[in-house]
């Protein structure tokens, strides 16, 4: 259910740890959003090496982190609504990658001065912000493992399965799929392959009636088989399962 009092940030930690935020903390998160901006596809949010004095909260849409090697682009992370895209920029000040919008997006900016003030005044909320950053780290570790241990069909299936779970946490997935703005070129960049090779895998999964991609939508025909191809285990997402956060961080 949409929280009317938090129109920009109601998806923050939804499905994972939002229950551990107090009502006051939810309002503080909403109030810390300063400027709000709508982005077009491909619009840059942060460039590698630029000094930054604010972090970005994704209100609507998708954002990617990009790394470049030998003039080739690699998508090394995908963020969805409810994510702090670059909270790690608060201590780092300069990022080692670019941050761009994938499809239209809406973001809110939080100044680092404001972040410092609220973390000092509200240490429990600071810990919850740290939790969000460590969720990103858990996902990043899983991406490393998939690149190392899975074949291309497994890597692609893993990406589709992961995004279904993440979108389902924040109320943006349906039982049989979800909207996804990435082109096959961008999906190839996220899977460490070329569009030609990825197209073969897309066709293979369609012919096996596991999932279909068309017109900006992933339609999952058989999620169990998709997750089997991906060797997918959702525990690293800290949703339902053995790693689910229960009352460990809840304020008494």
Chain segment 43-67, per-residue pLDDT in tens:
999 999 999 999 999 999 999 999 9
The answer to whether the CB of 157 falls within 8 A of the CB of 232 is yes
pTM of the model: 0.95
Residue spans of the chain under pLDDT 70: 1-2
Q: Where are the beta strands (DSSP E) in the chain?
A: 36-39, 44-46, 54-69, 72-80, 98-111, 177-179, 211-214, 217-220
Report the percentage of the chain scoring pLDDT > 90.
91
**pLDDT number for residue 19:** 94
**pLDDT number for residue 1:** 46
Signed CA dihedral, 56, 58, 59, 61: sign only = positive
Pick the CATH number of 18-140 from 2.160.20.60, 2.60.120.10, 3.50.50.60, 2.60.40.10: 2.60.120.10
State the Cα–Cα distance between residues 120 and 54, nearest whole angstrom: 17
Domain ranges of the chain: 18-140, 151-230
- Whether domain 151-230 has CATH 1.10.10.10: the reply is yes
Of the candidates 14, 248, 236, which has an alpha carbon nearest to the alpha carbon of residue 124? 248
**pLDDT number for residue 251:** 84
DSSP 188-229: HHHHTS-HHHHHHHHHHHHHTTSEEEETTEEEES-HHHHHHH
């Amino acid at each position: 259910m949409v929280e009317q009092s938090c129109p920009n940030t109601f998806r923050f930690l939804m499905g994972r740890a939002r229950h551990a935020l107090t009502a006051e903390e939810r309002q503080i998160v909403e109030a810390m959003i300063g400027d709000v901006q709508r982005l077009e596809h491909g619009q840059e949010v942060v460039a590698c090496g630029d000094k930054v004095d604010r972090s970005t909260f994704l209100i609507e849409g998708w954002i990617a982190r990009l790394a470049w090697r030998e003039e080739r682009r690699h998508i090394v992370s995908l963020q969805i609504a409810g994510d702090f895209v670059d909270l790690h920029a608060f201590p780092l000040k300069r990022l080692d990658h670019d941050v761009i919008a994938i499809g239209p997006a809406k973001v809110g900016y939080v100044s680092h001065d404001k972040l410092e003030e609220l973390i000092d005044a509200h240490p429990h909320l600071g810990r919850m912000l740290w939790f969000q950053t460590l969720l990103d780290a858990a996902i990043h570790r899983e991406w490393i493992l998939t690149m190392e241990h899975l074949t291309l069909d497994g890597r692609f299936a893993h990406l589709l399965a992961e995004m279904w779970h993440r979108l389902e946490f924040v109320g943006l997935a349906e039982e049989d799929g979800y909207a996804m703005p990435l082109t096959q070129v961008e999906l190839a960049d996220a899977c460490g392959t070329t569009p030609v090779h990825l197209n073969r895998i897309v066709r293979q999964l369609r012919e096996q009636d596991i999932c279909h991609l068309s017109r900006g939508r992933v339609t999952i025909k058989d999620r169990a088989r998709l997750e089997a191809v991906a060797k997918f285990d959702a525990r690293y997402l800290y949703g339902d399962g053995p790693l689910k956060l229960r009352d460990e961080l809840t304020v008494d």
